[in-house]
């Protein structure tokens, strides 16, 4: 259904895709195994429309998934089958976007050498100094009561004992609290929306609380002064924030693509 909305002419294809469907057995079948996965749909779209650039993002573990075979299939499909020139690199939001979140992702940028003669000039953005702290993102003042842990909560004593610093973001790991030693936000994940135990925690002047959905999007680089969240359940907002890309990092990579184009 979605494919019918794809325009005929476009320069850049941006996508993310799940990697679970690739397997060692499938790898032995070669490219045939990409059928039934979203990557196979991407392959079809690229083959049909031949965009100048393909820009893909995925979890860091894609590189090592199935002993590296998954990633090998993806690179072979883009390079040998589709004829694109491929660059890939693992970048961290914390080191490459000046956003205080520890988030490593693999980025794949592929150029059609027939349409992009200067493809070999492409370089991923270099590291930049992290000048922002969590306090540049955390909301000031008291937040809605729903985000705070009441003292009657079964884990409150454990939270209170462990959470002592206002300069770090903590994570509740089912039965214990983990402090993020790097003083940045831990990786935001989609399962923040599946029960509250995955939402990062902080201590402020009013108690122990979860990050708000707005703060989660801010930790993904969204310009929150200009940005309004849709009126949907917080669980869905948390899920979308965790599934998102860090917008400022995408912008930096995008600018490098534009230089080549």
- pLDDT tens digits for the chain (261 residues)? 677 899 989 999 999 877 655 544 444 444 455 555 788 889 999 999 999 999 999 988 888 887 888 899 899 999 999 999 999 999 999 999 999 999 999 999 999 999 999 999 999 999 999 999 999 999 999 999 999 999 998 889 989 998 999 999 998 776 667 766 678 999 998 888 776 567 899 999 999 999 999 999 999 999 988 889 999 999 999 999 999 999 999 999 999 999 999
Rounded to whole angstroms, the Cα distance separating 71 from 82 reads 15
Start-end of H helices in 137-244: 156-162, 213-218, 234-243
CB atoms within 10 A of CB 85: 15
pTM recorded for the entire structure:
0.89
Q: According to the model, what pLDDT value does residue 75 have?
A: 95
List of domains in the chain = 2-129+246-260 (3.40.50.150), 134-243 (3.90.120)
pLDDT at residue 119, rounded to an integer: 98
Tell me the Ramachandran region of residue 209: left when phi exceeds 0, alpha when psi lies from -120 to 50, beta otherwise: beta
Q: What angle do CA 240, 242, 247 make, to 5 degrees?
A: 85
**DSSP string computed for 28-82:** HTGGGGGTTSHHHHHHHHHHHH--SEEEEEEEGGGGTGGGGHHHHHHHHIIIIIS
DSSP state of 101: B
pLDDT at 134: 95
Predicted pLDDT of residue 22: 53
Q: Is residue 19 among the annotated active site residues? A: yes
Task: Please pick, among 14, 19, 185, 216, the residue that the annotation labels catalytic.
Answer: 19
In DSSP terms, 203 is beta-bridged to 208
Q: Which residues pair with 148 in a beta bridge?
A: 209
Q: Which pair of tokens denotes residue 72?
A: 């090998």
Among 180, 195, 193, CA closest to 237: 193
């Amino acid at each position: 259904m979605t494919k019918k909305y794809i325009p005929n002419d476009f320069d850049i294809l941006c996508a993310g895709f799940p990697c679970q469907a690739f397997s060692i057995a499938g790898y032995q079948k070669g490219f045939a195994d990409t059928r039934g996965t979203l990557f196979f749909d991407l392959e079809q779209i690229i083959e049909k429309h031949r965009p100048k650039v393909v820009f893909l993002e995925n979890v860091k573990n894609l590189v090592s998934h199935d002993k590296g075979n998954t990633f090998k299939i993806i690179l072979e499909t883009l390079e040998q089958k589709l004829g694109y020139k491929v660059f890939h690199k693992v970048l961290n939001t914390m080191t490459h976007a000046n956003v205080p979140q520890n988030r490593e992702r693999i980025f794949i940028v592929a150029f059609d050498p027939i349409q992009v003669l200067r493809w070999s000039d492409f370089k991923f953005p270099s590291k930049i100094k992290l000048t922002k702290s969590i306090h540049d993102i955390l909301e000031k003042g008291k937040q809605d009561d729903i985000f705070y842990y009441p003292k009657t909560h079964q884990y409150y004593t454990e939270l209170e004992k462990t959470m002592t610093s206002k300069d770090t973001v903590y994570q509740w790991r089912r039965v214990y609290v983990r402090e993020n030693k790097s003083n940045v936000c831990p990786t935001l994940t989609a399962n923040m929306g599946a029960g509250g135990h995955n939402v990062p925690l902080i201590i402020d002047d009013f108690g122990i609380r979860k990050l708000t959905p707005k703060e989660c999007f801010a930790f993904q680089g969204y310009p929150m002064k200009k940005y309004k969240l849709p009126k949907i359940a917080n669980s869905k907002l948390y899920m979308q924030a965790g599934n998102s890309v860090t917008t400022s990092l995408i912008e930096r990579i995008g600018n490098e693509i534009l230089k080549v184009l």
